[in-house]
Structure 1
Amino acid sequence: MYQHILVPTDGSDGTRQSLTHGLTLAERFDATIHALSVVPEGPLGTLQSDEGHSAAERAVERVEVEATREGVDVVTAVEQGVPHEEIIAYADDHDIDMIVMGTQGRTGLDRVLVGSVTERIVRMADIPVVTVRLSDEIRIEDADEAARIARKAAGAEGYDDITVSDDPHRTSASWIVPLETGSGPLHVHVDAVTSEARVAKGSKQ
């Protein structure tokens, strides 16, 4: 179901958490990790372009090293522009099946910016977006509870004949619940902190 997973990164702790999550998913689904770092433009972007590019290169190189160590295929890229626009464009151009993003960046302004970028991606992307938090308390630790929430979410989307087709899998703060429905296979992402469920309708079969 997932062949190409995009992990936008700025090298911060928040994006490092999302990398760990993305690598676990890539191993499970035998997928390729795409590491993308965007050097921002505009009034809220970096003032030192060379410095920004160097930091971006270091960020994707770190992903490449960790992915290679885990035996995961990896592609890296550095772009310059408006972060959420570049991330969406990259996902479209490279047939990305899922985006995994942190909700927090570095301290100060970057922390605000990363959260804002993630929020825009969640609203605009037409593929599944998994968000990874740094320090929220996990509330859903039981696979059966995650499956119950997933079945309910699929039913609310109009699916019928819903059964769990494989064991729910949790990485970081999200459960992935594979379902079989009358309309075919489906994955539901259940936030282990908030209980929010998202049906992965945009995933490629």
Structure 2
Amino acid sequence: MYQDILVPTDGSDGTRQSLTHGLTIADRFDATVHALSIVPEGPLGTLQTDEAIPAAERAVERVEAEAKREGVDAATAVERGVPHEEILEYADEHEIDMIVMGTQGRTGLDRVLVGSVTERIVRMADVPVVTVRLNDEIRIEDADEAARIARKTAEREGYDEVTVLEDPHRTSASWIVPLETDAGPVHIHVDAVTSEARIARGPETE
């Protein structure tokens, strides 16, 4: 179901957390992790210091090294531009199946920027977006509870004859619940912190 997973990174604690999440999903589905670092640019050029590009390169190299240790295939890229635009463009060009992002970056302004970028990606992306929080308390720790929420979500969306295909699995702050329905298999993502659930992908997009 997932063959290519995009993990935008700036090398911060927040994006390292999302990397762990992305690698877990990639390992389960035998997928490739794409590490993408964006050097923000405006009309007058790079918005950061001369160290921005080397820092971005180090960030994706760390992802590649971590993926190698975990036995996961990895691809890396560094782009310049408006972060959310570059992420969406990369996802489209490389046929990405899922985007995994942190909700916090470094400190100060970067925390605001990363949160803003993630919000835009969630609203605009055509593929599932999994967000990873640093410090939120996990409320849904039971697989049966995640499955119950997933079934209710599928039924609310109009699916019938809903059954759980296999045990739900949690990666960081989300549960992924595979379901069988009258219309075919679907995956439901259940936020382990907020209990919010959404259909990651239906049979029509397989």
Both structures adopt the same fold (TM-score exceeding 0.5): yes
Q: What residue is the counterpart of 2:177 in the other structure?
A: 177
Segment of structure 1 superposing worse, 37-46 or 138-147: 37-46
Q: Any stretches of 5+ residues in structure 1 without a counterpart?
A: none
SS of corresponding position for 1:134: coil
Deviation of residue 58 (structure 1)? 0.5
The size of the alignment, in residue pairs, is 204
In structure 2, do the counterparts of structure 1 residues 66 and 196 end up closer, same or farther at CA, with 3 Å as the change threshold? same
Deviation of residue 47 (structure 1)? 3.2
Letter of the 1:91 partner, please give it.
A
Letter of the 1:46 partner, please give it.
L
- 1:52 equivalent to 2:68? Answer no
Deviation of residue 198 (structure 1)? 1.2
Q: What residue is the counterpart of 2:189 in the other structure?
A: 189
Please give the alpha-carbon distance, in whole angstroms, between the structure 2 residues aligned to 1:83 and 1:47.
Answer: 13
Deviation of residue 158 (structure 1)? 1.2
Encode CA deviations 1:74-108: one digit per residue, 9 max, x unaligned.
00000000000000000000010000000000000
In structure 2, do the counterparts of structure 1 residues 32 and 187 end up closer, same or farther at CA, with 3 Å as the change threshold? same
Segment of structure 1 superposing worse, 155-164 or 167-176: 155-164
Letter of the 2:166 partner, please give it.
D
Encode CA deviations 1:103-130: one digit per residue, 9 max, x unaligned.
0000000000000000000000011000
SS of corresponding position for 2:36: strand
Any conservation in 1 of the 2:185–2:202 contact (CA below 8 Å)? Answer: no
SS of corresponding position for 2:201: coil
- 1:115 equivalent to 2:148? Answer no
Deviation of residue 3 (structure 1)? 0.3
Task: Normalising by structure 1, report the TM-score.
Answer: 0.96
Deviation of residue 176 (structure 1)? 0.3
Q: What residue is the counterpart of 2:100 in the other structure?
A: 100
Any conservation in 2 of the 1:102–1:132 contact (CA below 8 Å)? Answer: yes
Please give the alpha-carbon distance, in whole angstroms, between the structure 2 residues aligned to 1:189 and 1:196.
Answer: 8
Letter of the 1:151 partner, please give it.
R
SS of corresponding position for 1:6: strand
Any conservation in 1 of the 2:40–2:48 contact (CA below 8 Å)? Answer: no
Q: What residue is the counterpart of 1:72 in the other structure?
A: 72
Any conservation in 2 of the 1:169–1:176 contact (CA below 8 Å)? Answer: yes
Q: What residue is the counterpart of 2:63 in the other structure?
A: 63
Q: What residue is the counterpart of 1:90 in the other structure?
A: 90
Q: What residue is the counterpart of 2:31 in the other structure?
A: 31
Q: What residue is the counterpart of 1:3 in the other structure?
A: 3
Q: What RMSD in Å do the two structures reach over aligned CA positions?
A: 1.5
Q: What residue is the counterpart of 1:155 in the other structure?
A: 155
Letter of the 1:15 partner, please give it.
T
Encode CA deviations 1:119-164: one digit per residue, 9 max, x unaligned.
0000000110000000100000000000010111111111111100
Please give the alpha-carbon distance, in whole angstroms, between the structure 2 residues aligned to 1:30 and 1:96.
Answer: 14
- 1:124 equivalent to 2:131? Answer no
Highest relative contact order (Cα 8 Å, sep 6+), 1 or 2?
1
In structure 2, do the counterparts of structure 1 residues 59 and 202 end up closer, same or farther at CA, with 3 Å as the change threshold? farther
Q: What residue is the counterpart of 1:40 in the other structure?
A: 40
Q: What residue is the counterpart of 1:140 in the other structure?
A: 140
SS of corresponding position for 1:11: coil
Any conservation in 2 of the 1:32–1:75 contact (CA below 8 Å)? Answer: yes
